[in-house]
Copies of this chain bind each other. A is one copy, B any other.
């Protein structure tokens, strides 16, 4: 079957490249920013757009699954679809997300974030690669197979696409935990990761977990004048600074007692393979980070520091006076948004407790500290020891002409943990983003050659799995 289907489906995909891109642009124009309540209607509109397309290409049982009753969900719906008529063939669960990060700061975008623009072979827009563009590869691979295979697929497919990935909403976790019988599969496929380098097909076999927290410090009951009260009233931002300075030392080592106790080091083989990857630290510093120097724990390579070592970051410190000029206020309260990336061995709930107790124990006098958990995700390591991994590497070899490299991701994809735990299925993370795609930042982009190669790789992979 593969011999016959593949060339036709590939040809179909090639003949429809520009249409696929135009459709993706339409999806991107819907500003489905899940964290902002004022975009709730847009988020739903994006869900409906995806559902409509799944229906059009031939998927069945297409529906929105409502999550508004679910605790810790913002009520953005899941999109579900399936096609289950390939008797005897395996079932692949395709996961993606149709929500996007906020686009701020808007003034740093060269072209507007929700007006997708093609430049130099790239498509620039919020969500271009994370994850609308990559999710669309799945849809377009399925369309190409349906269109050239008599309205059928060579394998069974379930599609589950969420709208709360960027906010850690728990709608999908609730569904996976409570309706796993509706998701029975042999494998989950996610395209929400990146290639290690251009032209280098990549499978991601490990992810960091995380806990995202908010630290609130309250001093005086109301904002006070710093002239009149400076020297007597506690300053929440000074207190936050003192706390943060005790969370991480100047070498990037986290100072929370017990934090590293359960950290599992990568295997010797893994470390050896990482050393062989084409990685130029100075080039990475200059082209991707652009800071005067890279930071982090001494004694670990950049890949180890970003893939296999836990970290702590401060994302912003709301409160107080942030306008132009000088307002002489001692703010009544200040906040810090602080997250930690966790690695295999660490347990989010345990780490959160360690963090919370430590923060409470080091709170300076005069202030009240409240710690809140916003969301969390487990660290993941995926076994490379299964025939789906082999099928994927072969599919990508046919498209790219080179061997696949195995890497880890520094970010979190919480759903992978749910798939492992609840559905007992491995997850293949086959992503086609590039390291300089500006995820979560202004000028996010997707290299369109990779969009098309992604579609072809997925067509070949599905065909091989169904063969």
Contacts and interface: CB of A to CB of B under 8 A. Distances in A.
Interface of A: 35-37, 101-102, 104-105, 108, 166-168, 194, 208, 210, 212, 218-235, 237-238, 240-246, 248, 250, 252, 284, 288-297, 302, 305-306, 309, 311-331, 334, 336-337, 339, 341, 364-368, 374-375, 409-412, 435, 438-443
Most buried by B among A223, A231, A246: A231
A245 B241 contact: yes
Contact of A223 (B325, B364, B442): B442
Contacts of A222: 108, 290, 438, 441-443
Contacts of A225: 411, 439-441
Given A225-B440, A237-B317, A238-B312, 4 more contacts: A224-B288, A231-B341, A316-B321, A326-B339
A226 B313 contact: yes
A374 B289 contact: no
A302 to B, nearest CB: 5
A314 B60 CA distance: 58
Contacts of A289: 219-221, 224, 229, 232-233
Given A235-B313, A366-B292, A321 B337 contact: yes
A293 B292 CA distance: 41
Contact of A228 (B246, B292, B318, B410): B410
Contacts of A291: 218-221, 233-234, 366-367
A410 B290 CA distance: 43
A332 to B, nearest CB: 8
A297 B366 CA distance: 13
Contact of A245 (B242, B319, B375): B242
Most buried by B among A241, A245, A410: A241
B232 A306 contact: yes
A108 B410 CA distance: 41
A33 to B, nearest CB: 10
